[in-house]
């Protein structure tokens, strides 16, 4: 397998743990969690929205869902697990 194929397998595996999200969204959430976890909700929200806009293709994210993710990240909780 070449590197691209290995990366695709890894992304599908990561997404498989949380099937309601695609792998790219999961990676964005993990990256923002690592860099902004514990920060103010508004900063996390802005960083998250900016990162999600960078995803290729047409992505539709609910503003309320993004805010919930931002709140959970600012509380240092896993944004992909619902309370």
- For residues 73 and 32, the answer to whether their CB atoms sit within 8 Å is yes
pTM: 0.70
Q: Provide the number of structural domains found in the chain.
A: 1
Residue 40, in any domain of the structure: yes
Please give the pLDDT value at position 4. Answer: 61
Residue 83, in any domain of the structure: no
Question: What CA–CA distance (Å, rounded) separates 81 from 18?
Answer: 9
Structure tokens at 4: 């691209």
Residue 82, in any domain of the structure: no
Q: How many Å is the Cα radius of gyration of the chain?
A: 13
Summarize the confidence of residues 50-67 as an average pLDDT: 87
Grouping H, G, I as helix, E, B as strand and the rest as coil, residue 55 is coil
* Segment 23-45, tens digit of pLDDT: 888 899 999 999 998 999 999 99
Domain enclosing residue 67, as ranges: 3-74
Residue 80, in any domain of the structure: no
Question: What CA–CA distance (Å, rounded) separates 17 from 78?
Answer: 13
């Amino acid at each position: 397998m070449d590197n691209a194929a290995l990366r695709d397998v890894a992304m599908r595996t990561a997404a498989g743990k949380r099937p309601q999200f695609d792998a790219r969204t999961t990676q964005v959430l993990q990256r923002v969690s690592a860099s902004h976890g514990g920060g103010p909700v508004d900063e996390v929200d802005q960083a998250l929205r900016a990162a999600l806009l960078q995803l290729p293709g047409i992505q539709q994210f609910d503003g309320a869902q993004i805010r919930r993710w931002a709140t959970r990240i600012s509380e240092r909780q896993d944004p992909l697990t619902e309370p």
